[in-house]
Chains A and B, each alone.
Chain A
Amino acid sequence: MSDTRNIAVVVNGKSYERTVDTRRTLGDFLRLDLGLTGTHFGCEHGACGACTVRVDGIAVRSCLMLAVQANEKSVQTVEDLAKGDSLSPLQQSFHDRHALQCGFCTPGILMTMTEFLEENPAPSEAEVRDALSGNICRCTGYQNIVDAVLLAADTMRKTQDAV
C-alpha cells in the first residue's frame, strides 16, 4: 500500500541514498532514517519552529516538508554547526549567555538564527526578536537568547574585522 521513492540527499555534507515512504516528513527522515535526533518536533503544524533545519541554506520547518522534497538538495541540521569540539560562534554565545534551559527548542533556534546572522551581521534587538518570533521557547523568556544572538553578531564582526 505504501508509495515510496528513492531519494539522494546531502545531509551535513554527507551523501545519502534512501528509499522512503512519500508521506515521510523531512523531520522524521532526519530523525528516524538517519538517526539525527538533534532536530525536534514540538507541534507538527508549523507553529513552534523546533523542527527548523536549513535546506539549500534556507531555514524551513521540517515538519511541513516531505523527505522526498529534499531529493537532490542539501540539508543542514544542528549536528553540523560545531566543527569537531569547536562550537560555532552562535553556539558558544548561547553557552556564554545561558540561552538554553531544557534545550528542546534550541536546535531549531540555532538553525534559524544562524541563517539570520549570515544575512544580518549587525542586527538590532528588534530585528533579532522579529527573526526569533517563529520559534517558541517556554523556558528562557527569550532575553538570553536575544543577548546571545547579539553577542554572536558582535563576535563574528570582530573576527571579520581581525581578518
Chain B
Amino acid sequence: MITTKTNTPVEVLEAVVIRFVGDSGDGMQLTGNQFTDTSAMFGNDIATFPNYPSEIRAPQGSLYGVSGFQVHIGSVEVSTPGDEVDLLVAMNPAGLKTNLYAVKPGHTIIVDSDSFTKKNLEKAFYETNPLEDESLENYRVIQVSMTSLTKEALKNVEGLDNKSITRSKNMFSLGMVYWMYHREKDYTLDFFNKKFKTKPHLIEANTKVLNAGYYYAETLELIPNSYTISPAKMNPGTYRIIGGNTATAWGLLAAAEKSGFELFLGSYPITPATDILHELVKHKHFGVKAFQAEDEIAGVCSAIGASFAGDLAVTTTSGPGLALKGEAIGLAMMTELPLVIINVQRGGPSTGLPTKTEQSDLLQAMYGRNGESPVIVIAASTPANCFNFAFEAARLSLEHMTPVILLTDGYIANGSAPWKVKSIAEMPEIKNNKITKVKENWHPYDRNKDTLARNWAIPGTAGLEHRIGGLEKDSVTGNISYEPENHEKMTNTRAEKINLVKNNIPELKTEFAETGDLLVIGWGGTYGSLHSAVKQLNKEGFDTIGLAHFNYINPLPKNTKEVLSKFKKIIVCELNSGQFITILKSNFNKFDYYQFNKIQGLPFANNELIQEFKKLVN
C-alpha cells in the first residue's frame, strides 16, 4: 500500500460516487461542477446528476430546500451517475436526512457539525442529534466544524461580510474532497481568478478556504484513507463536460450551420426543457432566432411559419406542451414542412412530476394527433448523444420534409458527461428539398421518387407561389380535394414517406452478445442503466445476454426483426408501463416478450435490473 507523507493509506478504486448536498444557498451545484471538471481534466470518465428543489427559494434548512449534486467518476467506463453513494457531503441536517438512504453502509459521510444546531435539527424533523445518537453507527461519519473553520481561515481577509464568509464554506468541503481523492486544486483556483476577476478579495477568500479544507483533511486523523481513481481509457481527442439540454441545443446549432439554414426556435418555458431555450437565446452571433411565444401552441406555430418561410425550425417542450402542440404538429405533417419538435419527457400524466424523469410520452409522440398523422420519432440515449440526435432530427426533417419528434428526458437532459467535441467538418451532410427554379407543370406536392419528400418552394421565390394548408389536397395539384380515393392515396403516401426513412437511418446494433438467451431491449434515456447492468452480468459470466437499444422508433431500423429473432427471450425495459413493447408487439407479434417497467419518476437502479435479468436466464 502506498502512503502519503502523513502516513494515510491510499486505496486505488475503479470508480466512486460522491454526492454533495446542502441548502439551496450552500453552493452545492458549483461544488459538484468543480469536482466534476477537475476530475474530467484528470482524465476520469464521468456522469453527473443534479437534484434541485422545485421551490425557487425554499426556507433555509428545510427538507424540501435541499439541493444536491451527484457525480460518478471512474477509471473505467461510467455510464450512469450511480445508484448508491460512496461519499456523502452534507452541509446541514436536512441534507443528511434526505440523502442518507443513498449512502452505502460502511461508507463515509462528511458533515458540517456547526450546522447541526437545535433550530436546524428541528427544521429537519430530527428529535435527537444524529451525530450524537446511534443512528449513524453503520457509517463512517467525519464531523467537521466547517463554518467555524471557514470563519477562522478568513479572519484576516478584508472586505468580507458575514454572508460571503458563510457562503464560501462549500469550498472548505471541496478542499477536503480534493485531498481525499488526490485531485489538483489548480483548475478551481484558476476558476476563482476568472470568476472574481474584479473582486480580488473574493479570489483571496475562496482560495484560502479551499486550501484550508485541503490541509485540514490532510492533517485530520479521522480520515482513514485517501483514494486514487486513475484516468479512464477514452478515445483521444478534445473533450468537454456537457449537459443533455446544452448538447441538444448545440446539435441544432451544428445542424443549422451544416445545412446552411438559419435556425428558428419557437418555444414556451416548461420544466425540464427550458434550458434548451436558455442556451439557444445566447447564440444570436450565429443568427439564431429564438422566439419566446405566449404559449406552447404559438411556440410550435411560429416554428411552422418560420419553416414555411425557409428556416430550420424547432420547438422545444415537455409532455404537457406536446399535448398542446398536437394539432399544429398535425398541420406541419399535412403541409409536409420540416419541423423539429423536442420533448424533454418528465413524469406524467397531467402536470405529473415536473422535475422527475419518465418515458411515458412515447405513445403520445407516435399517435397524439387527430387522424392518421405519422411523423418520425427518435430518441437520444445519453447526455452527450443529445447532440447527435438533435442534429439527426434536423437532418431527417429537412431530407424528408416532415416533422420529427426527438424524445429526451429529464434524466439525460439534466445529467452531464464527457463529450468528445465534434467539429462541424465531422458531421454528416444534410440535404434538402428546396426548389428555386420554375419548372413547367410544377406543383407544390411534387415528390422525390425515392423518399416521397415533397419539394419545398419558399416564399420570395418568383414563379412558385402556392397555397398549402390543413385540408386534404389533391395528390397531383396540391389543391383542396375531398375525393374519397385521393384521400386514401394521400394517407398511404404520408405513411409510406415515413416508412421510407428506414433507408436513411442506421441498422440496430446489439452489444455484448449477437445471439443468445436473453435480449435486453430499451430505448432513449435508459441506455446508461441498461448498458451497465448487462455489462456487469457479462463480466460475471452471463455472456448470452445481449443489449439492443433503440434510438430510432418511427420508423424502426430495418433489421429489427432479425435482431429480435436471434435470442430465446426478449425483455423490454421502460420507465413507463409498457409503451415501446406495444409498438414492438404490433410490428412483430411472433415473439414472446417479457417486460420490466418502473414508474417512480426515477431511473432504473443497477441491482433491480440485474436481479430481473438473472431470473430470465437461470
The yes or no verdict on A and B being binding partners is: no
